[in-house]
Amino acid sequence: MNGQQVILITGCSSGFGRLSAQTLARQGHIVFASMRDIGRRNATVRSELDDLAKSENLNLQVIELDITNDFSVKDAVTEVIDRAGRIDVLVNNAGVLYVGVTEAFTIEQVQRQIDVNFFGVIRMNRAVLPHMRRQGNGLLIHISSIAGRAVIPFFGIFNASKFALEALAESYRYELSGLGIDSVIVEPGPYGSNLIASNSEAEDRTRLAEYGNFAELPMKILAAYNEYGRDPQEVADVIAQLIDTPAGQRPLRTICGLDFQVKDINKATEPIQRSIIEAAGLQSLLQLTHN
Ligand SMILES: NC(=O)c1ccc[n+]([C@@H]2O[C@H](COP(=O)([O-])OP(=O)(O)OC[C@H]3O[C@@H](n4cnc5c(N)ncnc54)[C@H](OP(=O)(O)O)[C@@H]3O)[C@@H](O)[C@H]2O)c1
């Protein structure tokens, strides 16, 4: 047990984010459950979490945060530091899913998808890292996907965003290891949440029409994936377990749920990665150093 942690989670209006906020607050942590638009669209979730905090006497605070907006990111992290004095854990959870014929997504749609799933994480990490470096410790948790390691047809843009996220999180792991800051990746399989329901379809109708009936396949695949959906609490429990694991002992990647053998990809790439790092004479970066 690592004691009471100050934890900031992105995307807490639903799914893994909301469940993680509740779970971690119930375990005695100081939790900042962030979400967009707490005054209107997400006002009901906000008041439900406020009520829960009151009724169970939890240190669970809802704050406004849109990870695609630099000012919002800066304000939210400042709010956490002002209220709690430090930040121990960032859970990069917020994400969106665009599924469809890859060619038929407009550039603007691709940019929106990557802005949330990749640039949003860069914004968040850049905002919290100066505080973690000053503290000499910290934990970055990145919610990727098995789609961050294996490709699903019609998930091309989502795949690209999560592959990019995996590379970023792994690079951070090595670069921050000497500063006492840990970077880990969670790779969920399919779970029931709002993610599939909030899927954005490809907007270039002309291109879509040129694919004929083939263009109907993505929705069939999504429906099939929906069938696999397991209890999303499993992911919240994995996040809690990682926070509870002592620094230096956390695995880089943790899969939860159905993995379709992605664990074999992780196992196969580990020695390759290690040999690349060792060849560069950087083996000291493979182990987290405590400050
Ligand atoms: N469910 C799965 O099967 C599955 C599998 C693998 C990985 N994942 C990953 O798990 C994470 C959570 O997904 P979920 O399944 O819990 O889906 P979810 O219920 O749809 O939750 C996604 C959250 O992200 C938020 N969000 C979207 N854009 C945002 C932005 N610009 N700024 C801040 N928050 C934003 C949404 O908030 P709003 O209410 O404001 O839209 C929502 O709270 C995602 O990164 C997803 O890729 C999910």
Ligand 1 close to Cβ of residue 49 (< 6 A): no
Residue 1: band (very low, low, confident or very high) from pLDDT cuts 50, 70, 90: low
**How far is 155 from 44, CA to CA, in rounded Å?**
31
Smallest Cα–Cα separation from 20: which of 80, 81, 91?
91
Q: 272 CA distance to ligand 1 centroid (A)?
A: 31
Q: pLDDT per residue over 192-229, tens digit each?
A: 877 877 777 899 999 999 999 998 888 888 887 777 77
**How far is 53 from 58, CA to CA, in rounded Å?**
5
At residue 274, φ and ψ (nearest 5 deg) are -60, -45
Q: pLDDT per residue over 133-188, tens digit each?
A: 999 999 999 999 999 999 999 999 999 999 999 999 999 999 999 999 999 999 99
**How far is 18 from 268, CA to CA, in rounded Å?**
33
Q: 3 CA distance to ligand 1 centroid (A)?
A: 28
Ligand 1 close to Cβ of residue 157 (< 6 A): no
Ligand 1 close to Cβ of residue 20 (< 6 A): no
Q: Which amino acid is at 97?
A: L
Closest ligand 1 atom to 115 CA: 31
Q: For residue 146, what are the contacts with CB-CB under 8 A and spacing of at least 6?
A: 187, 188, 189, 255, 258, 259, 260, 262
Which residue, by CA, sits nearest to atom 39 of ligand 1? 13
Ligand 1 close to Cβ of residue 242 (< 6 A): no
Q: Which segments of the chain does DSSP mark as H helices, in order? A: 15-26, 43-55, 70-84, 107-114, 120-135, 156-176, 194-197, 205-210, 217-228, 233-244, 262-279
The sheet carrying 253-256 orders its strands as 60-64, 30-35, 6-9, 89-92, 138-143, 181-188, 253-256
Q: What is the CA radius of gyration of the chain?
A: 19
Q: 48 CA distance to ligand 1 centroid (A)?
A: 18
pTM of the model: 0.97
Q: 213 CA distance to ligand 1 centroid (A)?
A: 29
Ligand 1 close to Cβ of residue 161 (< 6 A): no
Ligand 1 close to Cβ of residue 148 (< 6 A): no
**Please, what's the b/e burial string for 215-247 (b: 16 or more CB within 10 A of its CB; e: otherwise)?**
beebeeebeebeeeeeebeebbebbbebbebeb
* Per-residue tokens: 59: 């240190």
Which residue, by CA, sits nearest to atom 8 of ligand 1? 145
